[in-house]
Amino acid sequence: MTYEERFDAGAAALREGQADAAVEHLRECVAENPRDQRAQLYLGVAYGLTGAEEDAERHLQAALQLDVGNPQAHFNLARLRHRQNRLEEAVAGYQEVLRLDPDHAKARQELQALGRLPADLIASRMVPETPVASVRFGGARDVMLRRIDIVSALRSVGVAMFIPSFLIAVGLIIGGIVSQTAEVGIAGAVVAVVGLIAPLVAVPLMSAIYNVLAGWLGPVGLDLDLDAEMASVNHVDGLSLARIVATLALVRVFLTVLLYGGIFAVIGGMGAFSGTRFPAAGAVALVVIVIALIVGSAVAVGITFVLTLLQAALYNLVAPGLGGVRAKVDGPLHQTEIKRLAAWSTSLSVYVAYLPGTLLTTGYMFLSASISPMGKYEYLAVYCLPVVMFVGMLLMVLFYNLAAKIFGGLQVTLEED
């Protein structure tokens, strides 16, 4: 029996109330890998159910040393001390649970009971609750993506996006040097610098905005299928995703219009001050900014909302057959780390989901090619676009895996729905 099979057998026995069998399996897991926080936690719970309180406390303490922010380890240790009539320590443990997880109903109930009932009347049996100890526990779950850790997003997704930007920047700079043309060299350098900075700014900014929107509009809902260390996204709640993505599009339009409108206003203002060709350019810029914000925002939100609904529906249709976004994950639900993405199933599932957007882009490029003097080259780009899109997605997954291996994966906060 492999390590994972022993752990799954122990966890299943624990769920079924077979404490002795759970101890047998989980004890072997801890002997093989004492740094597995899940095994330490569940072995502590199993020992508590058998009445071996010293062993239970030792393994629960070991689980906390491996993950001091795990509410379930604190809760079960508090329950053990409660049962031993160590009330001050139990109260402190329940309070720590509520500090880590303010919605933990059972910890709140225990504290309320301690304030008005004798300790010997309080039900304090240790229970293996829905395991926040690890998302590996298995089974299908409806969860909500409550929060994205900004720092981990920068070092994983940001770095993954930085790698192709860096390669493009090197190519532009080399092209400028080879061309021996000052204008080409300067343009290449400017584009290279902007391309390098953009992902390192955009990723943490979009992560922070998502966290705000998730609290305001509600987080994105996901249906996860958990199998050992792997998690597959089988279904995405299209409405919650569309609300978030459309609002992000609104923010992006707002920032873009302000940036370019501001540049135009400054240029126009300088022209007005110097009495050159556009004396009223500053006022015109202000009008353009207002119109662009109103029209651009409405168009961006409407198109993005409908397109995201279509993409989510298409993803939900093909994910069961293609495998969906599949990732190796680690840690508790409240701090899940995406350590590695399955390259093929993830790229192919997302690529198919993006087909509506790809078709829109292809149609626009085809129309542009039909009226452009460079039409034959643009037609070639149209024909190559589907392949380029898939290769680009596959490369981004591979770049993410590289960045996650070196700097650590993206960390997210998931909540069961």
pLDDT tens-place string over residues 99-134:
888 877 788 878 877 763 334 334 444 444 434 333
- In this structure, what DSSP letter does residue 219 have? P
pLDDT of residue 11 exceeding 60: yes
Residue 272 clears pLDDT 80, i.e. is over it: no
**Amino acid identity of 95?**
Q
* Domains of the chain, earliest start first: 3-133 (1.25.40.10), 139-416 (no CATH)
In this predicted model, what pLDDT tens digit does every residue of 153-193 receive, in sequence order?
A: 998 998 888 888 777 777 766 766 666 665 555 656 666 67
Q: Which of 404, 396, 402 is nearest to 336 (CA)?
A: 404
Q: Look at residue 228 and give its three-state secondary structure.
A: coil
CA distances from 351 to 282, 295, 391 (A): 44, 30, 10
Q: How far apart are CA 308 and CA 326, in angstroms?
A: 20
* Cα separation, 115 vs 57, whole angstroms: 25
- R_g over Cα of the chain: 28
Q: How many CB atoms lie within 10 A of CB 198?
A: 14
Q: What is the pLDDT of residues 319-364, one digit of tens each?
A: 888 888 988 877 666 667 888 898 998 999 998 888 887 777 777 7
* DSSP structure class, residue 103: T
pLDDT value, residue 88: 86
* CB-CB contact of 71 with 104 (8 Å): yes
pLDDT of residue 44: 92
pLDDT (0 to 100) of residue 377 = 60
Residue 137, pLDDT > 50, answer no
Residue 130 DSSP code: S
Predicted TM-score of the model (pTM): 0.61
Mind listing the pLDDT tens digit for each residue in 202-228? 888 889 988 888 888 888 888 877 654
Q: What is the mean pLDDT of the chain?
A: 77
How many Å apart are CA 229 and CA 417, to the nearest integer?
A: 21
What is the rounded CA–CA span in Å between residue 354 and residue 387? 13
- Residue 337, C-beta contacts closer than 8 angstroms, at least 6 positions apart: 152, 329, 330, 331, 408, 409, 410, 411
pLDDT in tens, 14-38: 877 788 899 999 999 999 888 888 8
Q: 13: Cβ–Cβ under 8 A, 6 or more apart, which residues?
A: 19, 21, 22, 25, 46
Q: List b or e across 33-71, with b for residues whose CB sees 16 or more CB atoms inside 10 angstroms.
A: eeebbbbbbbbbbbbbbeebeebbbebbebbbebbeebb
Residue 170 dihedral angles phi and psi, to the nearest 5°: -60, -45
SS3 162: helix
Per-position b or e across 199-221, b if 16+ CB within 10 A of its CB: beeebbbbbebbbebbeeeebbb
Beta bridge partners of 13: none
The fraction of the chain above a pLDDT of 90, given in percent, is 11
Asked if residues 165 and 199 have their Cβ atoms less than 8 Å apart, the reply is yes
Mean pLDDT within 34-61: 89
